[in-house]
Structure 1
């Protein structure tokens, strides 16, 4: 078992309040109470009812180039199996599937870019290997043969996001965590320039540390607390097929997915992603668009997803679409999560901005927060995700010394 989950920490006696009961908040609750903190989660809706309920459950290293986010993804990938093992009776709900990923390029230019990208990842310690046409056909018989390059990533995995979040939170509750749903934060509690808790629709809630883990709504929460961060919603849609016999055996996506993830364009970005679920339906993605919190499912997004998925996997032409759903992801302009203390307001921490990678990065994020709170140095420098960077703090302010309420 990974030593990081067994180490002694100094969080005992620390009261932590987590704003947000999605995947990040649930992973934080599980890890922090394991490391000795007293934990309360305040969720304005239901557990895992926001972004977490509208994702695919990806635990990926294949889509991240060398840098701090890839390092966090590698840490998280090592931690996930340990966490699942520790959840014991709740592990079945997680639906951990280390099925691997296949990235394919369908153009010569895409093949050159994919080869170079994989080479950089390999230098950073990512396991990946190129497949020839015969190997690709054996791995994914239903995949188009119009492929110029293919790279296999054995470390890519998948969980059932809502199941994983509730399993983590269930573990935290069993260890003494308090979870309040339908509990919306309405104001900060500030004393002597320090955040000492929050006012909620259920009354005041005091804590030594408040962690903003509200996903796409983290920007609004930060505004409310008086320390704004530039987190914006970025919408994504998914198509779900009718249940099928085993057809797709890995997470399969076109190499242009990486470009869509890394794009800052507000207009519709789409790429082909096809992957299986244990229940039988295939998940087809993906799309990205900045449209605020407009919750409408748009035909152009669904059409783009279907068209590109069909090119990648022609057998889908005869498959029925059962339903579609969309959700919002917490987006930051520099495409890095925001993890750590807010220097403008002592007592406030953030764990947000993971966009579509929050499921996979959640357990690593929880470890970084726990280590930093305990004053310990982790294998990844949390400074890479600092709050006070240009993409996150667009208008720095001085901490308030006003006592808002008690």
Structure 2
């Protein structure tokens, strides 16, 4: 038997770190467990996007807008090393039908509280001087921002004051339960650890942790690759992507999808994405994906054609079938809470997720309606 705490958070990515931060700030004692290093999963493979521009009106956009305000607060509290940059996003269209679709999408977002402005074709160079000529126009989203995700997770954990236990010996092998099936803690490779609440922030492995608790949460990995260029002067000022990226984000297809996404970083390298495919946890390098990413980036920014790629890496987004994360208590297992399934938006949505988890744990008033994120929504009706 090891020391007890008020809550155990399983997962040391940015979502788990945010849960630990807000729970500790609410006065709870927190232990964070991870079988790997801090940000060793999806967080460490992310670009650090904090986006509202790619979300249609609805629950996820509400979560993103709330999280955006929390990130602004955190930026003033965490060290500058997290590289928080409110640089804004620019979504561009190649032709007039594409602009018409973006215009309709943006109008709905604006009604939901998003700040967005249309940019005529001849004004695009004012925002991005190196953009390819001939584009039909775009939309500017000043609320889009970026952080360095691994450092953000590390600094959130440090600021939380939580006890952080890392390594193979901390892998959760099962949940400990008491009378009525209520959570009493977890069983790890190193022994039992007790707490009346356990938060599943295990990212792409969130479905496996749910299975250990005897419940269904169909989280699947969705692979993506990122190209990283050599350090450059600020060639790309915003997060810039083509209109088809929005459709790819919303798609549930398991097949390979690529769309041009290009952004600069404070450190100099340009990050190039984005690809999506469901191939399990296969990390095999795909030359075809890299070719598509490079072609899409140079089509938007011809200046990148002569730039060297420094490295490439793959990561896995924690995908749920309805594209909404699972956030909150699991009515099927008293004491179990979920904070996973954010797909590619986890870094942006982490603070709002952590705040909701902390408010549930302390009985505080929730900042928004959480019904759409109910972890039990995938359970067959007859099993509920």
Q: Distance in 1 between matches of 2:35 and 2:383?
A: 27
2:173 corresponds in structure 1 to 186
Equivalent residue runs for 1:5-404 within 5 Å: 15-87=6-78, 91-173=79-161, 177-182=162-167, 183-192=170-179, 193-389=181-377, 392-393=378-379
Alpha-carbon distance, 1:397 to partner: 5.5
* 8 Å CA contact 2:217, 2:376 repeated in 1: no
Q: Structure 2 length normalisation: TM-score?
A: 0.96
Q: Distance in 1 between matches of 2:380 and 2:278?
A: 19
Q: Distance in 2 between matches of 1:146 and 1:73?
A: 32
* 8 Å CA contact 1:230, 1:393 repeated in 2: no
Alpha-carbon distance, 1:111 to partner: 1.2
Cα deviation, 1:61-114, whole Å, max 9, x if unaligned, reads: 100010010000000001112112123xxx222111000000001133221111
Structure 2 CA distance for partners of 1:396 and 1:359, relative to 1, 3 Å: farther
Partner SS, residue 233 of structure 1: strand
Cα deviation, 1:136-166, whole Å, max 9, x if unaligned, reads: 1111011012211210001100000001110
Q: Distance in 2 between matches of 1:184 and 1:137?
A: 50
Q: Distance in 2 between matches of 1:63 and 1:297?
A: 27
Q: Distance in 2 between matches of 1:114 and 1:80?
A: 26
Alpha-carbon distance, 1:322 to partner: 1.0
Structure 2 CA distance for partners of 1:395 and 1:205, relative to 1, 3 Å: farther
Q: Structure 1 length normalisation: TM-score?
A: 0.91
Give ranges in structure 2 of 5+ residues lacking alignment: none
Cα deviation, 1:356-383, whole Å, max 9, x if unaligned, reads: 0000100011111112222233231111
Q: Distance in 1 between matches of 2:131 and 2:282?
A: 34
Q: Distance in 1 between matches of 2:215 and 2:183?
A: 11
Partner SS, residue 375 of structure 2: coil
Give ranges in structure 1 of 5+ residues lacking alignment: 1-12, 399-406
Partner SS, residue 381 of structure 1: coil
